[in-house]
Amino acid sequence: LYVAERLTQGAMLRLDGGAAHYLVQVMRTRPGDPVKLFDDQTGEWLGIAREVQKRGLTLEITDHLRPRESVPDFWLVMAPIKKGRIDWMVEKACELGVARVVPVLTRRTVVDKLKHDRLAAQAVEAAEQCDRTALPQIADPVKLSALLKDWPEERTLFFADETGGAPAAKAMGERPGPAAVLIGPEGGFDADERAAIRAVPQAVGISLGPRILRADTAAAAATSLWMAAAGD
C-alpha cells in the first residue's frame, strides 16, 4: 500500500480516507495484523495495525523490508488519448517500470483537459498491484514545441514513427543510457511536427513494425522493447 508520508522505524502512522477504507472494510484488518507499506522514498516497510476504527486505523511501523527499487531511466512521452485508454497507458507504463510519464500536447491532441490527479492515482494503483516500491512521476502536460526546445542533451528521444524508421529493438540496443519514447496522438503528428521532432539532435525515428498500432499499444510495445534492450 502506498502512503505519501516518509516512513521511519517505530513511527505511528494514522490512515483515514481511501487507504483506511481499503484496509478496514475490504481487507478486514484487525489489531495485530501486518500491513506492507511503501512511501516512494525509503522503500517498503512492515506496519502492525494497533488501533482500528470503522473509518481509520493506526499502524506501528516496525521493519524495513526493502529499499526503494532503482528505476530504469526511461520516460514515456505521449499525446493524451481518451480517458479509458490513457488510464490503461499509464497503468502499463507503471507496470513496465517507466520513471516518468510526460503528456505532450500536439496539433491533433483531442483531449487537452487532462486530470493529473486521476493519472497519478492510476499510477499508484498499478504500483501497488505489481509490488513496486517506486512510483512513476506524472509530469504536467507540455506543448510539443516547448518539450522539443528544452530537450535534455543526454537523453535519446526515440520517436515512434508509423511511417517508418529504424527497427525499434535494434535502435534501442545500440543506444544505451537515458531515453524516452515519443508516441503521437490517434491522428498522428502533422508534417511540421514531424520535421520539428526530427530536427532534435537526440531524436531517433523508430518503427514498431509494418502495422499501424493504436497509440496505447505503441506505448506499451516501445516501452517493453526498451526495457528488454536495457535488461531492466
Binding site for ligand SAM (CB under 6 A): 160-162, 183-184, 186-189, 207-209, 211-215, 218
- The residue among 207 and 224 lying less far from ligand SAM, judged by its C-beta, is 207
**CB of residue 172 vs ligand SAM: minimum separation in angstroms?**
12
- Residue by residue, DSSP assigns 4-19 as SSPP-TT-EEEE-HHH
- The residue among 56 and 173 lying less far from ligand SAM, judged by its C-beta, is 173
- The residue among 13 and 215 lying less far from ligand SAM, judged by its C-beta, is 215
**CB of residue 217 vs ligand SAM: minimum separation in angstroms?**
7
Instruction: Give the Cα separation of 38 and 13 in Å (integer).
Output: 12
Query: Which residues are CB-neighbours of 49 under 8 A, at least 6 positions away?
Result: 23, 29, 30, 31, 32, 33, 34, 35, 57, 58, 59
C-beta of residue 113 within 8 angstroms of C-beta of residue 68: no
- The residue among 6 and 170 lying less far from ligand SAM, judged by its C-beta, is 170
**CB of residue 100 vs ligand SAM: minimum separation in angstroms?**
18
- The residue among 118 and 194 lying less far from ligand SAM, judged by its C-beta, is 194
- Residue by residue, DSSP assigns 161-193 as -TT--EEHHHHHHH--SSEEEEE--TT---HHH
C-beta of residue 189 within 8 angstroms of C-beta of residue 138: no
**CB of residue 119 vs ligand SAM: minimum separation in angstroms?**
19
C-beta of residue 225 within 8 angstroms of C-beta of residue 171: no
The three three-digit cell numbers of residue 5, written as one number? 508520508
- The residue among 34 and 209 lying less far from ligand SAM, judged by its C-beta, is 209
Burial 96-114 (b: 16+ CB within 10 A, else e): bbbbbbbbbbbeebebeeb
**CB of residue 171 vs ligand SAM: minimum separation in angstroms?**
11
**CB of residue 205 vs ligand SAM: minimum separation in angstroms?**
8
